[in-house]
Structure 1
Amino acid sequence: MTASAQQQPNYPPLSVFVITLNEGEHLDEVLSSVAGADEIVVVDSGSTDATLEIAKRHGARIVHNDWPGYSKQKAFAITQCSHNWILNLDGDEVMPEGGLQMIRERIAQGDINGIWIHHDDIFMGHSLKKARHHKYRRVYRRDKSKMDTSVIVHEHIEVEEPTAYLPIYLKHYGYDTAHGYMDKLNKYSLLKAKQRLEQGRPCSLPRLLLIFPLMFLKFYLGRQMIWSGWRGFIKANIDAFHFFLTEAKLYEMAYRAKREQNPKK
C-alpha cells in the first residue's frame, strides 16, 4: 500500500437521494454540489423536462416511482439507497462548497445517528441568511431513523439520539419568486388542511382570527426576517398568509359540510 493510500481517511459510505419531478432548472447545480458521494439516487415521478438527462450525466441511479405524497416518496427513496448513511436533498437544494466533506468527517467519528443542517433561502434572487432558519435532519443512519409517513406535507423523519449540528447552509431556491412561493404555499395549505381534518383538528374561530398577525410577528421578528429589508417583510407576510390560508380552507370545508347537511340554513 502506498503512503498516500495509507493517509486516505476511512469514511463510512454515504448515499445521497433526491426526489424529482421536473427539477431541471437547478438539478445540475444540486448534483454537482455532492460530486464524490458514494452513491446518488434520483427517485423520479414522471419528469418531462431535462431532469433525467441531467441525473444520468452525473452518474445517478434513476428509479421511477409514481407520486404517493412527499413523506411516502422519501420513505421509498430511503429503501433504494445502498448505504446506511443517507443525505437527503430536494431538487432545489445545493450543498455549499466543503459541506459534503464536513458531513463525511463528522459521521466518521462514529458517535452520532444524524446531523442537523440549515437552509439558506434564496428569495427574490438573494440570500435570506440573516434570518433565523429551522434546522433540518437531512443526514441520518437508515437503521436508526424512521420517516413519518402519516403526514401529507412537510415530511418528518425521526432519528434516534445522539444527533449533532453542523453550520452547513443549503442554498434553497424553492422560495425564490413571490409568485412561485405563493403557488407552493397554496398547494401546501390545502394538503395541511386535509391532514388536520383527518387528525380531527378542525378550524377554530379564534385561531382563524389571530393566526395571521401572530405568525407574521413570529417570522418577521422571531425569525429575524426584519434584517432582510423589504424582502424580509414581504416573505414574512407570505409565510403568515400560508397559515391563515390553511385555517381558511379548514373553515370552508366545515362550512360546506354544514350547508350540505342543512341546505335551507
Structure 2
Amino acid sequence: MVPVSVVIITKNEADVIQRSVAMARLITDDIVIIDNGSSDDTGKIATEYGCRVFQKNWDGYGANKNKGIACARYNWILSIDADEIIDEELVTALHHLHYNNPDTVYNIRFKTYFGDKLISFGSWGRDHHVRLFHRGTVKWSELPVHETLLFPKGTKQKTLAGFIHHYSVKNEKECREKALHYALLSAKKYYHIGKKSNFIKLYLSPAFNFLRNYCLYLGFLDGWEGWCIAKNTARHTWLKYHHLYQLESMPIQKTYQSDNLLYMYPQIKQTS
C-alpha cells in the first residue's frame, strides 16, 4: 500500500463503482466515498470493498471533492470518479513514487469509452488531467461545473505511466443528456461571473468545436461514435450560450445555493 487516499464522489453509481474501487484497493487502504443520497446499492458495494462512505449534501463538484479530501487519512490524494478505473500500469507507477515533494502534481492520461468502444481520436482521445496531488498545497475550485485544481505558483507537473479508463457514456441518449446537463450548469456559472452570450459564441463556436473534434482531431476515424461525440460537443456549446442568453433576457425569479455563493438567476425554459 502507498500513502495515498483515493477520493470518489458518487450518486447512484452501483453499476460501475465495483470495478473502480477494486482497482483502487491495489494501491491504498483508504478509499473515501462522498455520496450524495444514492438510492441504489452504491454505499453497500463501496462498504463491502472496505471504503469509508460519507453522506454529504450536494454543494457542487469541486465542493464535494474538497469534502472528501478533508475526510482522507493521507495527505496525497488520488481523485477519480466512480466511472473511472485505474489500470495495472498506473498501479505500478503509483507504487514506485516517493511522495516526498508536495510541490509536485501528477498528470494522468485517460482512455475514454463510448459504451464499450475505446475512443482514440477527437478531444476524447487526447484527454489527460492532474489527479494526484498533495492536499497541503492543492485543492479544487468550488465552481458549479468544470471544477479545476488550484495550484500555487511554482508547482511542478509530471506525467505518470499508465491510464485512467473513463467509461463516460453508455449510449447516445446518455451523451445527449450529459451535454444538456453540463450546458445548463455552465450557463448559470457564466451568468454569475458576468460572461455574455453573442452571435459568435452562439453560432460560430459550436461549428468550430464540431470541425475541431471531427476533422482536425480526426474524430471521424472513430466511426459513428466519433460523429456522435463531435455532434454533441457542438450541441453542448450552443446550448450553454443559448441558455445564457435566456438568463440575460429574463427577470430574476429564483435563487439557489452552491459552493458557498448565492446564485441569482431567472427560471430557464429548458431546451434539449
- State the match for 1:78 in structure 2: 69
Q: 2:133 aligns with which of 135, 140, 149?
A: 140
Q: CA deviation digits over 1:162-200, x for unaligned, max 9?
A: 110124322211223111121122111111001001111
Distance 2:151 2:98 in 1: 14
Q: 1:49 aligns with which of 28, 35, 40?
A: 40
- State the match for 1:40 in structure 2: 31
Q: Which amino acid aligns with 1:20?
A: T
TM-score, length-normalised on structure 2? 0.85
Residues 89-128 of structure 1 aligned to structure 2 (within 5 Å): 89-108=80-99, 110=101, 113-128=104-119
| Distance verdict in 2 for CA 1:232–1:61, change over 3 Å | same
SS at match of 1:23: coil
Residues 1-265 of structure 1 aligned to structure 2 (within 5 Å): 13-36=3-26, 37-108=28-99, 110=101, 113-131=104-122, 132-149=125-142, 151-160=143-152, 161-257=155-251
Which structure 1 residue ranges, 5 or more long, are not aligned?
1-10, 261-265
8 Å Cα contact 1:140-1:159 kept in structure 2: no
Distance 1:107 1:42 in 2: 25
Distance 1:136 1:34 in 2: 18
Q: Which has the larger radius of gyration?
A: 1
Q: CA deviation digits over 1:65-100, x for unaligned, max 9?
A: 111111111111111111011101101111112312
Q: Which amino acid aligns with 1:177?
A: N
8 Å Cα contact 2:30-2:51 kept in structure 1: yes
Distance 1:98 1:17 in 2: 20
| Distance verdict in 2 for CA 1:224–1:116, change over 3 Å | farther
Which structure 2 residue ranges, 5 or more long, are not aligned?
253-265, 267-272
Alpha-carbon offset, residue 109 of structure 1: 6.7
Distance 1:46 1:189 in 2: 23
8 Å Cα contact 1:124-1:178 kept in structure 2: no
Identity among equivalent pairs (%): 26
- State the match for 2:257 in structure 1: none
RMSD of aligned residue pairs (Cα, Å): 2.0
Distance 1:88 1:39 in 2: 12
Q: Which amino acid aligns with 2:128?
A: K
